Amino acid sequence: MVLRNLKMKKFRIWLAVAAILAFINGGIMIMQTITGSLWDGKQRINLAIGDQPLNLVSYSPAEEELVIIHLPDKLFLKVAHGYGEYLVQALPGLAELENRKELTVQTLEENFAVPIEGWITVPSTGDNVLNVLTSRLKRIGGSNLSTWDILRLWWGIRGVKTGGIKEIYLNKDGVLTEDKLDDQTMIYKLDTEKVDLLIQKYFIENRIRKERLTTQVLNATFYPGLALKASRILTNIGVEVIDVNNSELRLEKCEVKSGKNRQGSATVKKIIKIFACDWFEEKENGRAEITLILGEDYWRKLNVK
């Protein structure tokens, strides 16, 4: 009887230890999921969602707005890193073939001049964003977003009312031009000016627009056109760019300069996030309140294979 009680006591101890370990392990997994999050759940997030079809999606919790830009299969885009031009439907396959998971996102960023924080590749789910998110929660497909990000997106988007959902079909909205390949296959190409007007209409960051902080963009490399590319992105999200020029400096890594009182602004934070810059205090305000100086790292991000 004593031996039996002793065994039961040991069993209860081991059971309690196992329960504690399971609880700790579960807590660690939850913390890893949350700390690996790319989205704060509050600000607008832009995503490349789907496989075939592929859609550019923007969700704003504050405005309770969901924008879905449907990309036609015959849309021909210049692929990032010098891979040439491909039909949009071929981008996920090319990204997988080249083992560059971010290639699709970087290509859409360059062509639409808008920062894209996340991607979700789930085949055969159609155009329904909630279906894509649900499939990803079931571990189907791939994504750079954490489970916590996906869950918050699913919860937020399912609450968007019909009036807050805007679906844009590029081949019906006058932002495409028709062209033909050498074999006479009909394709679409983007009209850059009209695309920018479309992005500025639906992808503006309201906090940034309200701050109205004047910004200058400088190119601190020998590669032409970088400042113009960056200024296009910033303008499309609501940054007030007042100067685009070359810098007398030559930098390896980009820098953002502003007064210390601007360091915590939505504009400075967003610029740092988009271009992965270091921040430096600029004691004397010049022509602009914020200065973005692009370095070699930005050129490599766009061009190096």
Q: What is the pLDDT of residues 21-54, one digit of tens each?
A: 444 444 433 443 444 788 989 889 999 998 778 8
Structure pTM? 0.83
What pLDDT digit, counting tens, does each position of 160-169 carry?
999 999 999 9
Query: Which strand (E) or helix (H) includes residue 78?
Result: strand 76-78
- Can you list the pairs that 29-37 forms with residues at least 24 positions away whose Cβ atoms lie under 8 Å? 33/146, 33/147, 33/148, 34/146, 34/148, 36/146, 36/148, 37/145, 37/146, 37/148, 37/149
Q: How confident is the model at residue 177 (pLDDT cuts 50, 70, 90)?
A: very high
Q: How confident is the model at residue 171 (pLDDT cuts 50, 70, 90)?
A: confident
Q: Does pLDDT of 209 surpass 50?
A: yes
- Which pLDDT score is estimated for 14? 56
d(CA 197, CA 303): 26
- Which pLDDT score is estimated for 110? 94
d(CA 96, CA 102): 10
Cross-strand partners of 138: none
Residues in the chain: 305
d(CA 105, CA 107): 5
Give per-residue burial for 190-221: e unless 16+ CB within 10 Å, then b: beeeebbebbbebbbbebbeebebbbbbbbbb
- Which pLDDT score is estimated for 7? 55
What pLDDT digit, counting tens, does each position of 295-304 carry?
999 999 888 8
Q: Does pLDDT of 18 surpass 60?
A: no
Q: Distance of CA 300 to CAs 127, 225, 227, 295, Å?
A: 33, 13, 14, 9
Average pLDDT of the chain is 87
Cα angle 43, 140, 156; round to 5: 25
Q: Distance of CA 298 to CAs 81, 111, 148, Å?
A: 12, 16, 30
- Which pLDDT score is estimated for 5? 58
- Which pLDDT score is estimated for 10? 56
Residue 183 DSSP code: T
Question: Half-sphere exposure of residue 214, counting CA atoms within 13 Å on the CB side?
Answer: 8
Which tops the pLDDT comparison, 265 or 305? Answer: 265
3-state secondary structure of 31: helix
